[in-house]
Structure 1
Amino acid sequence: MKRKLLVGIAAACMILPLSSNIEANEFSGNEDYWQNKCSVPQQTQAEANQCLRFRDYLAQKQNELQNSLAGLDKELANAKGNAKDLAALVNKYSKEIDKLDSDIALKESALNTIRNSIAELDGKIIKIKANIDLRDESIKKRMISEQPMLGSNMYIDFIMGAKDLVDLMRIMDGIQEITKNDQDQIESLKKDKEELDLAKGEQKRLEAEAQTAKDDLEEQKAVQVTMRTKTEAALAEYQKLQASIEEKMRNAKVNISDLQSGMNNINIGTGGDTSGGEDPNGFTRPVPGSYITERPFYYSGGGPHLGVDYAVSYGTNIVAPSNSLVMYANNPISKDNGYNLGSMVGHPAGAGNSISLLTQVNGTTYAISFFHLRQANFYAKGKSSVARGEIIAQAGSSGNSTGPHCHIEVIYLGNMSLVEAAGRFNRTADFAYGAGWGYTGAASACENGRRVPCRERPENLFP
């Protein structure tokens, strides 16, 4: 019987490499599945070997990740001075950081699962050992009671791993008398031992897996920090260069006829009804649940930034901060999510899908702009006015943007009437109302003592 068992094990060992020969391209793209699968005890040795191959695959990917860092400084040096190349690098690095975020989250979850699995295996091994001891004792007692004269109790030693086969023939006659129940018990005992060996092997594999996962996490987090630093450096260089390019594009005289699909051409005339743009109740927050990532009038890394970036998830509702006239609302840009740095589509250039509102709050007139909006659910389009708190659009990442957010700019028009302000926009389609763009726009901040029109900090108006 032992010979048959050994033959069976040998046959399994011959087959095993074939069943576990998973190529790297079978892991690629399925990392989440394999990470989750291999974080728990496997049911067969073949599956355990697949997980060992997956560990080797991850080690290779980890080496590739480390090697990729070596070329970052050279890429940045080559792109310096070229806004297009810098934008491409920022978009590329940002995607890689997102991938690292996902990998780190998966690895941390897997590490917790592995630790729990090891604890469960501890209990399982104790239980299997107890079962083996019970079966062993039961079989010994049974054989001893039935075959006291044949020495068949030596068979027990044989089954339990004895290496001496000399007594095998002598006890064969006695074995014939063993009941079927004894045979079943022996088979169960062998299965228990196989299960125990697998459990111990899996415990050892998972302990190694836990250490590897911990080491990988530390390396990935270090790489992530480096990638963020390089991305911020590339973005800062881009913002400094882009400011001049953007200022020229936005200051260029526009063809009003090209913008008619988004303009309402509101003509309220002298003495006309302006109530749709008047609000005696102050402002409401236009981007609920958001947080500010950049403020006016310069980026944290340098280069002018004329508004506030309110970070929210893609598709978050944007509401009118006050009763307002809708001067412009257009959503021609379908690429409205993800990394689009360097994309100068929309009006004004780089704004993507955009809206310009005109409002008079407590007697003071403001022009409020919303950039980088989602194309769908663009509710303000076609409306001449919107009410305070009414949904006008949703956050996106259209135009010159690195991810979902809403960029808001405010032009302070003082006691300018809505009639005069609407007429000025109809003639020029200038979202800045003459306050300028780029470095000129940053210099026209109201806090610098500039006269109307000047740029106001949105965070000063919205609670």
Structure 2
Amino acid sequence: MFGPSEGYANKKSVAEIDKQLKKLQQEVKEAKEQQVKAASRNQEAQHYKNKTNMNLQYVLGQVDMVKGKMKDISGKIADTEKSLNQTAVQLDEAEARIASREKVLESRVRLMYTDGAVSYLDVLLSSNSFTDFLDRADSLKLIVDQDQDLLVQHKVDKQLVIDKKQELEGKYAQAKQLYTDLEEQRSLLKEKEKDKQELIAYYDKEIQDSDDISEEQNAKLVELASQRSNLEKEKDKLKAEEAARKAAAAKAEAARREAEAKKKAAKAAASTSSTAYAGGDGPLLRPVGAARISSPYGYRTHPVTGEVGKLHTGTDFAVAQGTSIHAADSGTVLVAEWWNGYGNCVIIDHGGGMWTLYGHIRDGGIKVKAGDHVSRGQVIAESGSTGRSTGPHLHFEVRIDGKPVNPMPYL
């Protein structure tokens, strides 16, 4: 995506370089706008994810409520099944009584059919004495009463059978509806759990996508800063050459312009030296002295996002809000402004492909601006907690050819 600018090997005019610088500035502006949008998406997705997790408590309450309903329904089903069993027993007993009486009635009918219809009056008139008459009358009354009672009980049991069958049908329908209600509650639980998982997965993807965009734009900003630095150097070189040509045309000004060109050349050589460092085990000065290291360079669980295995691209020094931050070495300021998750940030180009980065500077704490030349140990900013930060500290990076490396061997 980012190749070297065309024409580095060929001569260009200052106007052409200014045009390229203007184009780069527009790209920087667009990249930062993309970062702002990505940060907004990330924040919005995180908000709704948190809200979804909060709603989980409500869902769990609904789960408990549905479980309670399921328990009540299960109890009603058990009671209904018990009542069905009792009704079935009563129905069986009534049907058994009906079957027994029907046998008695059938035997009575067969007897009447084989012996013929015997008149109750004939039985009485065939009595041998008055006592025999009374005995026969009592016997006939007992038979009639038994027949009448048998018919009444037979009628009652038949109606009982009809009622119990209707009761059974109603209770079977009730049990069927209870089982249907139970299944509906189970389906409701599954649906709510599925919705919750889908929402959380969606917002997790939104957060990951916005982080990817932010990282991509961050890399783009680094590359644009490098291109801008190269163009500024070429522009300065062209201006020096133009000044030399003008000096050659005016003999009176030649000596002064030549001395000025030498002075500029010496300054440029000093700023591009990658080996002229001294002091300590490494070439760079510690930016906040002997402050405690709260988080070293390397892979870790991100303290803000919770992302596991995230590369921490620098070293964090635990310092109080407003602590003076010193330039690790002399160089030219490339960036002195808000920079994505770093918050307020300063980047210094020390030449030879080496940059140092100072992040999370407090609001109003930047003491330099882009294009300034700073000296080793110069106060360039004050520590803070801007950007993606959990508290006041200095995030310090060393970058070689734009890529972050472990800063400790360089300090």
Normalising by the smaller structure, the TM-score range is 0.3 to 0.5
Considering fraction of residues, name the structure with more helix.
2
Q: Which has the larger radius of gyration?
A: 2
